[in-house]
């Protein structure tokens, strides 16, 4: 089928559906929701069999849904309606939620139901649920709906009418007053719920040490205590705030009413040293086992000759200091007896490369970009040069740009099936990229493969990445199953008598590669391009970064996504189009 995605943006759910439906053999073209007339134009140009709205915030115009079948992917169970479905699910503390594919008509989210798939609500933020449970359920629901569309006689289900004549259960968007915290009254569970329901957007309005802010990314803390509401500790940029019955870590803040400094940044950076002068930094060693609840970004664990390193960096973004801390943890892990080392990344993201928000916040963003990419490169080089251990990147979550190439620095790359990779930099203002990609990518995919992957700037599903040679193994079902299998396989590898042979072969290859062309010269060549990207006349990277971090709405759909807008694209004859039943 020819399917048009009508969406607010190419977010993670849209990307995942894009790779899944293409894998099923469908042709997908994408149109960003910019204006009703532009949407109508896209439908006229493409004449899709079906329109899917994976992430849409505005009504589809009647002129579109009257003539073309349109499906809305709604992050709520059958009958649930409104723009804040997940927020309400978290606030209400429901255990079971769902994703529904419903047909667009005049009344928002009240159309006939094509499929609905349930999921269990994990205690996590809205964005984390969205990236994992909602995305998996959405894939299932859309696949089910597509099967039903092909099933003769299948009729989508009408919502039962309520006694008052309305359909389903409409729940409005949340007002700021419903997203507050009373630090004297609310216990830890309520504080967590409030922050999680508003995370990543819009955050909970609050005041910290006299500064009006929005709070993001909260984690429970079971050891530290203090007067409710006071800031009792800092750790790697996060603050710990006491509640009535415990404490929570808040990792990110955004100031309110301060013009263009509306970036979401580490809490301590937003508050500043003066406000935090009397607050102690309480570190947590990555190797120390923690009994109760706490928050830390980097965690190391050695089990039976296998070292596991996880790095839970917010949104997968890796700032200069985070790269350095990770490198330090890696060196310490290397000093253990573990023979197999597994890089686990975070649960939601493996890595998204440079920390664009932190860069944007610096007075000199070019210098900050340079420092950040140098730190990424130092880390990548250390992984490549780890020649006495077997190194595995195990991707539980998505990776993008430099984060993908960091993963390729390992000897093997394993992936959870639902992972989406964006192994290219071009979307960030034609950035050339570094992280030794010019060494790491060709050795896996060849020169032809490099042109395809870096040039077409599209997301790859785990299976496609494996077919392309980017990934070695796709395994497991859900996140827990993947984690189990990674552990079992890594331990088997560590016990395999052949491991020493593999490691010797790898040393041999590294020496040969180095003799042919030293790693340093790959880096130099990449950084020469990066110097132009950061300091040259063409400001594309700085413009793209600004637009990205400030979430500037799209003004057009790029041609690599909008097939129907390419020159020479031709719509099929009108009678080939599917119309609404
Ligand atoms: N450096 C810095 N930040 C980076 C980064 C990098 N290299 N790479 C990614 N990020 C950040 C983005 O800025 C974004 O930040 P924020 O969400 O904390 O502000 C975040 O990582 C995620 O990136 P995004 O591109 O937005 O992908 P996503 O699909 O994972 O996000 C949302 C999910 C935004 C849709 C989710 O937050 C949400 O609100 N979902 C609700 C569901 C909904 O509204 N559905 C529509 C109704 S039908
Ligand atoms: N039919 C049609 N178009 C649609 C839907 C549909 N477009 C997408 C939509 N479903 C997804 N769901 C919603 C539901 C409600 C709102 C937006 C998307 C909504 N928006 C408020 C507004 O636009 O003023 C503000 C939302 C807010 O408070 O944040 O109510 O079924 N044809």
In the numeric block, which tokens belong to residue 563? 């097939």
Residue nearest to atom 5 of ligand 2 (CA): 108
Tell me, in angstroms, the distance from the centre of ligand 1 to residue 461's CA.
18
Tell me, in angstroms, the distance from the centre of ligand 2 to residue 60's CA.
9
**Crossing angle, helix 479-495 and helix 499-516, to 10 degrees?**
90
Contact 168 CB / ligand 2 (< 6 Å): no
In the numeric block, which tokens belong to residue 417? 């099936």
Tell me, in angstroms, the distance from the centre of ligand 2 to residue 150's CA.
28
Cβ atoms of 192 and 264 closer than 8 Å? no
E-assigned strands of 382-480?
Answer: 390-395, 398-400, 412-415, 420-422, 460-461, 473-474
Counting ligands in written order, the one closest to the CA of 85 is 1
Counting ligands in written order, the one closest to the CA of 58 is 2
Counting ligands in written order, the one closest to the CA of 317 is 1
In the numeric block, which tokens belong to residue 381? 């080089």
Predicted confidence at residue 455, as pLDDT, reads: 85
Contact 72 CB / ligand 2 (< 6 Å): yes
Write phi, then psi, for 144 (nearest 5 degrees): -60, -45
Residue nearest to atom 4 of ligand 2 (CA): 59
Classify residue 102 as left (phi > 0), alpha (psi -120 to 50) or beta.
beta
Q: Considering only CA atoms, which of 150, 141, 153 is closest in space to residue 101?
A: 141
Q: Which atom of ligand 1 has the smallest separation from the CA of 355? A: 1
Contact 111 CB / ligand 2 (< 6 Å): yes
CA distance 325 to 297: 10
List residues near ligand 1 (CB under 6 A).
11-13, 55-56, 74-75, 86, 126-127, 130-131, 200-201, 264, 315-317, 352-357
Cβ atoms of 96 and 68 closer than 8 Å? no
Q: Considering only CA atoms, which of 396, 501, 384 is closest in space to residue 132?
A: 396
Residue nearest to atom 36 of ligand 1 (CA): 127
Q: Which atom of ligand 2 has the smallest separation from the CA of 174? A: 28
Contact 226 CB / ligand 2 (< 6 Å): no
Counting ligands in written order, the one closest to the CA of 159 is 2
Predicted confidence at residue 574, as pLDDT, reads: 55
Q: Provide the residue-wise pLDDT of the chain in tens; the chain has 581 residues.
A: 999 999 999 999 999 999 999 999 999 999 999 999 999 999 999 999 999 999 999 999 999 999 999 999 999 999 999 999 999 999 999 999 999 999 999 999 999 999 999 999 999 999 999 999 999 999 999 999 999 999 999 999 999 999 999 999 999 999 999 999 999 999 999 999 999 999 999 999 999 999 999 999 999 999 999 999 999 999 999 999 999 999 999 999 999 976 655 899 999 999 999 999 999 999 999 999 999 999 999 999 999 899 999 999 999 999 999 999 999 999 999 999 999 999 999 999 999 999 999 999 999 999 999 999 999 999 999 999 999 999 999 999 999 999 999 999 999 999 999 999 999 999 999 999 999 999 999 999 999 999 989 888 999 999 999 999 999 999 999 899 999 999 999 999 999 999 999 999 999 999 999 999 999 999 999 999 999 999 999 999 999 999 999 999 999 999 999 999 998 776 665 554 444 43
CA distance 31 to 35: 11
Tell me, in angstroms, the distance from the centre of ligand 1 to residue 315's CA.
8
Q: Which atom of ligand 1 has the smallest separation from the CA of 72? A: 48
Contact 371 CB / ligand 2 (< 6 Å): no
Counting ligands in written order, the one closest to the CA of 400 is 1
Tell me, in angstroms, the distance from the centre of ligand 1 to residue 452's CA.
26
Contact 57 CB / ligand 2 (< 6 Å): yes
Q: Which atom of ligand 1 has the smallest separation from the CA of 12? A: 29
Write phi, then psi, for 344 (nearest 5 degrees): -95, -10
Residue nearest to atom 28 of ligand 2 (CA): 173
What is the value of pTM for the model shown? 0.95
Contact 442 CB / ligand 2 (< 6 Å): no
From residue 52, give the alpha-carbon distance in Å to each of 27, 69, 433, 564.
12, 9, 33, 15
Predicted confidence at residue 573, as pLDDT, reads: 56
Predicted confidence at residue 581, as pLDDT, reads: 39
Mutate to test the pocket of ligand 2, among 58, 67, 106, 201 (most ligand atoms within 8 A of CB): 58
Counting ligands in written order, the one closest to the CA of 200 is 1
Mutate to test the pocket of ligand 1, among 8, 73, 86, 130 (most ligand atoms within 8 A of CB): 130
Contact 87 CB / ligand 2 (< 6 Å): no
Residue nearest to atom 38 of ligand 1 (CA): 127
In the numeric block, which tokens belong to residue 85? 């479905």
Tell me, in angstroms, the distance from the centre of ligand 2 to residue 84's CA.
10
Residue 59 CB-half CA count within 13 A: 11
């Amino acid at each position: 089928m020819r399917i048009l995605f009508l969406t607010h943006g190419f977010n993670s759910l849209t990307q995942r559906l894009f790779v899944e439906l293409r894998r099923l053999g469908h042709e997908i073209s994408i149109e960003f929701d910019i204006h009703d007339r532009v949407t109508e134009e896209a439908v006229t140009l493409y004449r899709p069999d079906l329109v899917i709205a994976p992430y849409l915030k505005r009504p589809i115009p009647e002129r579109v849904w009257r003539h073309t079948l349109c499906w809305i992917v709604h992050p709520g169970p059958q009958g649930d309606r409104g723009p804040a479905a997940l927020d309400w699910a978290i606030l209400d503390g429901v255990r079971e939620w769902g994703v529904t594919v419903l047909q667009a008509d005049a009344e928002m989210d009240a159309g006939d139901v094509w499929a609905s798939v349930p999921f269990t609500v994990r205690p996590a933020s809205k964005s984390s649920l969205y990236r994992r449970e909602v995305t998996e359920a959405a894939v299932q629901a859309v696949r089910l709906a597509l099967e039903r569309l092909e099933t003769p006689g299948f009729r989508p289900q009408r919502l039962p009418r309520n006694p008052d004549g309305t359909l389903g259960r409409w729940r409005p968007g949340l007002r700021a007053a419903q997203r507050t915290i009373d630090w004297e009254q609310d216990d830890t569970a309520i504080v967590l719920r409030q922050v999680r329901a508003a995370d990543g957007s819009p955050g909970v309005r609050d005041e910290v040490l006299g500064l009006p802010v929005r709070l993001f990314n909260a984690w429970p803390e079971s050891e530290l205590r203090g007067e409710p509401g006071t800031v009792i500790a800092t750790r790697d940029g996060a603050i710990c705030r006491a509640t009535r019955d415990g404490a929570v870590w808040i990792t990110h803040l955004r100031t309110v009413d301060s013009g263009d400094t509306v970036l979401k940044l580490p809490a301590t950076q937003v508050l500043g040293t003066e406000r935090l002068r009397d607050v102690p930094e309480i570190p947590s060693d990555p190797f120390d086992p923690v009994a109760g609840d706490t928050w830390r970004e980097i965690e190391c664990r050695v089990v039976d000759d296998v070292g596991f390193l996880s790095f839970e960096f917010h949104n997968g973004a890796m700032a200069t200091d985070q790269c350095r801390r990770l490198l330090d943890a890696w060196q310490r892990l290397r000093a253990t007896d573990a023979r197999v080392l597994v890089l686990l990344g975070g649960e939601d993201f493996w890595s998204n490369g440079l920390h664009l928000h932190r860069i944007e916040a610096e007075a000199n963003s070019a210098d900050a970009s340079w420092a950040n990419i140098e730190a990424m490169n130092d880390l990548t080089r250390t992984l490549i040069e780890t020649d006495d251990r077997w190194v595995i990147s195990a991707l539980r979550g998505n990776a993008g740009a430099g984060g993908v190439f960091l993963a390729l620095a390992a000897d093997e790359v394993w992936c959870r099936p639902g992972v989406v990779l964006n192994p290219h930099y071009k979307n960030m203002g034609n950035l050339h990229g570094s992280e030794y990609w010019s060494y790491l990518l060709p050795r896996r995919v060849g020169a032809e493969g490099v042109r395809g992957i870096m040039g077409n700037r599209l997301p790859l599903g785990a299976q496609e990445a494996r077919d392309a040679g980017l990934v070695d193994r796709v395994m497991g079902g859900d996140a827990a199953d993947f984690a189990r299998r990674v552990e079992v396989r890594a331990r088997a590898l560590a016990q395999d008598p052949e491991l020493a042979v593999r490691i010797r072969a790898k040393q041999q290859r590294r020496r040969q590669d180095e003799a042919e062309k030293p790693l340093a010269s790959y880096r130099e060549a990449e950084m020469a391009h990066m110097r132009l990207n950061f300091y040259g006349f063409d400001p594309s990277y700085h413009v793209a970064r600004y637009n990205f971090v400030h979430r500037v709405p799209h003004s057009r759909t790029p041609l690599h996504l909008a097939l129907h807008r390419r020159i020479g694209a031709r719509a099929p004859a009108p009678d080939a189009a599917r119309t609404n039943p």
